[in-house]
Structure formats: C-alpha cells, structure tokens
A and B are shown apart, each in its own frame.
Chain A
Amino acid sequence: MLGIGVTDIISIIFMAGGIFFMVTGAVGLLRFPDFYTRLHATGKCDTLGEVLVITGCMIFQGWSFVSVKLFFLMFFIFMANPVGTHAIMKAAYYTGLKPWKKGEERR
C-alpha cells in the first residue's frame, strides 16, 4: 500500500531492537558506578546492538554479495568485541583499580 513490504518491516524491527540495546548501553555507561560495571554495559549491549542492526541491513538487502560482506562484518565483531572488553578489563585489574562493592559511593 505504502510501498513497504514484509522484509522491510522485519528489517525495521531488527534495527529498532539494535538501537534499543545501543541506547541501553549508553545509559548504562552513564549510570553504573565504576569502571568494571560500565564495561559490562558497553561490552555486551554494543555487541548485540551492532549485530541486530547489521542483521536488519542484511534482511533489507536480500541475497547478494553485500549481504555476504555484512555477514563477515558481524562475524568479526563477534570475535573481536569480547576480546577487546577482556583486554581492557585485564589491564585495569592488573594496574590495581579497586572494583566497586555494593553500598560504596559511586565514582
């Protein structure tokens, strides 16, 4: 009717979900009390957010070589994002940054 097909609607749902998780990650980055807990917000929400947005793009694009490239992008984000989070976490831990405990002042 308006030129919107089923695939468009599905891809919009995926992208909206991705944007929701990205925004949640950003809110968590601002609200959480210390370095480690902030990494929880960014490390997890960003991965799924990006993957959902890329999945939406893939469904929008259909079967083509662009979709294949987007799939590789997704794959490498899945491999690289946890490794990056872990590397930052390890560096902070061995520099001696004290983790926040329940009941303390936020930093």
Chain B
Amino acid sequence: MMKRSTVAIFIVMFVFWVLLSACINPLKGHYDLIRIVVGMICAAIATSVSRDLLITGKEDMTLRKTLRLLLYIPWELWQIVLANFDVAYRVLHPKMPIDPRIIEFDTTLRSDFALTTLANSITLTPGTITIDVEPERGRFLVHAIASKAADALLVDQTMQKKVAHVYMEERGGE
C-alpha cells in the first residue's frame, strides 16, 4: 500500500514534466507517447529520492492552510508593490530620507513553514530584511531602513497576525 503523500508527489512531478516538455498538447491534439513514458520513469525516480523532503507528514489541516495561504498571497503581492515604491522614493529623493536600525521582536509562530513564510515576507516588504530567526522562541532579528518600517512590525504587527492566522498558530508554542 503506497502512502498518499507519495502519490501526490508523483503527480506533482509528472505534471511538472508535462508542462516543461509539452509532451501533451491539448490545443493541437498532439500526444508524444515516448516522452510520456520517459516522464513517468523520471517522476518515479524523483519521487523516491525526494518524498521525505517535500511532505513530512507532521502537518495537519493542510487543505485549510493552503486555502488561507492562497488568500494571503495577493495581500503580500500588493505589499511588495508598495514596498518597491517606498524604496524607489527613498532612493530617488535628493536628501535620501533613511534612518536604518536593527529591531528584535517575538512571534507566536513555531513551525518551519510559518517561520519561513514570515521571514520571506519581511524581506520582501517595506524597508525590512530578516537577519536571523530563533525557531525555539519565534524571535526575529530584522534590519529596518526607516522608523516607519520598523513600527509596522513592532507596533501594528499586521503581517505577524496574518501569517499566524494562515498557519493557525495564534496562541504560540505548546
């Protein structure tokens, strides 16, 4: 009996192969049997190598978390656009209004996915870059380019709350 995660990874790998090699083309009604077979063999090899890396089996309620993540991504994209206009303004302003500082704050996040999402989000959004993360306490060390960007993380904490909502970790570690 094969595990469900193994089958899922095999399907993902095979779909990836089909999209990259264009061996099934529904627009032209064209199918390349040899490349489909080769793709299945390659997907099987890739699955046997990487099945413990992609899905560890420790996560629960994966579907709901994925849906919430899909809702989080558009908000994050909009924040990235705002961040870029902010940085462009600071770069092109003749007086260069920057006031860099290093800040530290604790979060309620503990799992790897949640910490990675927040760290990447911080790096991509207004004037902040993650320097280091302590996974045990959920502590973040962040370099901010101006006091406004630092306050967004220290006072408002919108981003932490949104990521905690996505991964259902509002209450903190057990």
List the interface of chain A (C-beta within 8 A of B): 20-21, 24-25, 27-28, 31-34, 36-37, 39-41, 43-45, 47-48, 63, 65, 68-69, 72, 79, 81-83, 85-86, 89-90, 93-94, 99-102
* Residue B130 at the chain A interface, CB threshold 8 Å: yes
Min Cβ gap A34→B in Å is: 8
Query: Are B91 and A28 in contact, with the CB atoms below 8 A?
Result: yes
Q: Is the CB of B80 within 8 A of A69?
A: no
Contacting pair A99 B92 (CB below 8 A): no
Binds A, one of B33-41, B61-69, B119-127: B119-127
Asked if B32 lies at the interface with its beta carbon under 8 angstroms from chain A, I say no
Contacts of B141 in A (CB 8 A): 93
Contact with A along B14-35 (1 / 0, CB 8 A): 0000011010010100000000
- Is there contact, CB below 8 Å, between B84 and A86? no
Chain A interface: which of B96-104, B154-162, B163-171?
B96-104
| Total residue contacts A-B, CB cutoff 8 A | 99
B91 neighbours in A (Cβ, 8 Å): 24-25, 27-28, 31-32, 41, 45
Q: If the complex has contacts A48-B84, A86-B130, are A36 and B92 also in contact, measured as CB distance less than 8 A?
A: no
* Dominant secondary structure of chain A at its interface with chain B: helix
Q: Is the CB of A24 within 8 A of B88?
A: yes
Cα of A42 to Cα of B42 in the assembled complex, Å: 37
Q: Smallest distance from the beta carbon of B16 to chain A beta carbons, Å?
A: 8
B129 at the interface (CB under 8 A from A): yes
What 0/1 pattern do residues 65 to 96 of B give for CB contact below 8 A with A?
Answer: 00000000000000011011001101110001
Per-position binary interface string of chain B over residues 113-144, scored 1 when its CB falls under 8 Å from any chain A CB and 0 otherwise = 00000011001100101111000000001010
Measured in the bound complex, the distance between the Cα atoms of B145 and A89 in whole Å is 13
**Cβ contact within 8 Å between A86 and B87:** no
A2 vs B124: C-alpha distance in the bound complex, in angstroms?
A: 39
Which 3 A-B residue pairs are closest in the complex by CB-CB distance? A82-B123, A28-B91, A65-B22
A90 with B98: CB separation less than 8 A: no
User: Which of B19, B99, B127, B131 lies at the interface centre, i.e. has the most chain A CB atoms within 10 A of its CB?
Assistant: B131
